Amino acid sequence: MEKLIERLIQKNRIALSKLITMVENDSPQLLDIMKAIYPLTGKAYVLGVTGPPGAGKSTLVDKLICNFRSNGQSVGILCVDPSSIFSGGAFLGDRVRMEWAYQDDGVFLRSLATRGALGGLAPRVSEIIKLMDAFGKEVIIVETVGVGQMEADIIRYADTKIVVSVPGLGDQMQALKAGILEIADVLVVNKADLSGAQDVADDLKMMLYLRKESDWTPEILLTEGLNNRGISDLYEAIQRHRTFLCQSGLKERQTKLQRKHACCDALEEGLKKYLRQKFLEVEEVKTILKKVQEEGLNPYHAADEILQLLLPIHIEEGE
């Protein structure tokens, strides 16, 4: 592991790939990897791109990469695809749409499968973002799976969140209300050459009035990803939001909150592993589980009793 991290610092792409694979597969060395690379993180700007299936997110990301690269910034891309509920596999079709990215040394593309995780992201996306950050990627773009109203985990990791919509989804008020709309820093109506695009933009403008008042009002942009229209405007809108984050102090507050989330997530994972490891090693636990299964013991009382057995400090209800 130490050699891989040394090569990561030297910007070895193979080392980055191997470390991502280890993190993705919950390597026993996961915590050691994250402890080692954490001091190297905190420099990257993270851009989240989310929206419903078929909105053209991958095409927009593909075009945005060109803008970042033309301004001399190295780019990391994480594309999340849904896993099959039957086979557990994923198509990872974003690799096809962004094939040219493999020819650019300044771009590192990684496709991830959700592996059953909800929220539009893969289970270890936070750690993988940090690996790319430690590798030296200045901009990291995370493209989520096609999401619904409440699958908005990207808000925890991205500095700027882009929500993409398209004409023809039906009732826009239903499709983009509440959970998804509220996370947007920039709103994009893609495939603007289709009929109804301006109506969607007008709907979004009206829906913005439903948001809580804040210092930032999301811009609404019309784009045509396939025709490379409106992409420069989108890039400039992203830069304006980035400037706002820095000048308002919101970026610093986001960073502090992300550090807290990282600690809580690592603690939660540690507790889960501890419980899984100890769960069936304790004879009293086996006895309690047998009583639940065979004798109808109240499972909630049983869970409380098991927690008191396994955890040195048990938090009483109501504390």
* Predicted structure pTM score: 0.83
Tell me the pLDDT of the chain averaged across its residues: 82
Task: Say how far apart CA 182 and CA 184 lie, in whole Å.
Answer: 6
The whole-number average pLDDT for the span 70-87 is 76
Beta carbons within 8 Å of 141's beta carbon, 6+ residues apart: 46, 47, 48, 49, 61, 64, 65, 75, 76, 77, 78
DSSP annotation of 229: B
Task: Say how far apart CA 77 and CA 132 lie, in whole Å.
Answer: 9
| pLDDT at residue 161, rounded to an integer | 93
Query: For residues 176 and 148, is the Cβ–Cβ distance under 8 A?
Result: no
Share of the chain above pLDDT 70, in %: 81
Same domain (yes/no): 231, 264: no
Residue 23 lies in a domain: no
Q: Which residue has the higher pLDDT, 181 or 102?
A: 181
Which residue segment(s) compose the domain that 292 sits in? 259-310
Beta carbons within 8 Å of 253's beta carbon, 6+ residues apart: none
Same domain (yes/no): 115, 234: yes
The whole-number average pLDDT for the span 143-169 is 77
Confidence at 317, pLDDT banded by 50, 70, 90: very low
Same domain (yes/no): 150, 274: no
Q: With 60 as the cut, is the pLDDT of residue 278 above it?
A: yes
Confidence at 119, pLDDT banded by 50, 70, 90: very low
- The β-bridge relationship of strands 139-143 and 107-113 is unpaired
Same domain (yes/no): 87, 56: yes
Same domain (yes/no): 56, 117: yes
Q: With 70 as the cut, is the pLDDT of residue 94 above it?
A: no
Same domain (yes/no): 147, 263: no
Same domain (yes/no): 206, 304: no
Q: With 60 as the cut, is the pLDDT of residue 37 above it?
A: yes
| pLDDT at residue 246, rounded to an integer | 93
Residue 127 lies in a domain: yes
| pLDDT at residue 238, rounded to an integer | 97
Which amino acid, residue 63? K
Same domain (yes/no): 152, 285: no
Report residue 82 as tokens. Answer: 């849904």
Q: With 80 as the cut, is the pLDDT of residue 115 above it?
A: no
| pLDDT at residue 313, rounded to an integer | 58
Report residue 293 as tokens. Answer: 């299964």
Confidence at 272, pLDDT banded by 50, 70, 90: confident
Query: For residues 107 and 69, is the Cβ–Cβ distance under 8 A?
Result: yes
Same domain (yes/no): 162, 288: no
Q: With 70 as the cut, is the pLDDT of residue 118 above it?
A: no
**HSE-up of 140 (CA within 13 Å, CB side)?**
27
Q: What is the pLDDT of residues 214-269, one digit of tens each?
A: 788 899 999 998 898 999 999 999 999 999 999 999 999 999 988 898 888 888 88
Residue 253 lies in a domain: no
| pLDDT at residue 241, rounded to an integer | 96
Confidence at 160, pLDDT banded by 50, 70, 90: very high
Residue 58 lies in a domain: yes
The whole-number average pLDDT for the span 87-110 is 64
Select, from the ranges 88-102, 172-186, 274-288, the one with the highest average predicted confidence (pLDDT): 274-288
Residue 237 lies in a domain: yes
Residue 186 lies in a domain: yes
Same domain (yes/no): 134, 271: no
Report residue 132 as tokens. Answer: 């790319």
Residue 5 lies in a domain: no
Task: Say how far apart CA 22 and CA 28 lie, in whole Å.
Answer: 9
Same domain (yes/no): 149, 265: no
The whole-number average pLDDT for the span 119-136 is 82
| pLDDT at residue 179, rounded to an integer | 57
| pLDDT at residue 69, rounded to an integer | 92
Task: Say how far apart CA 317 and CA 294 lie, in whole Å.
Answer: 27
Backbone angles phi, psi at 78, to 5 degrees: -115, 115
Same domain (yes/no): 78, 196: yes
Confidence at 178, pLDDT banded by 50, 70, 90: low
Number of domains in the chain: 2
| pLDDT at residue 282, rounded to an integer | 83
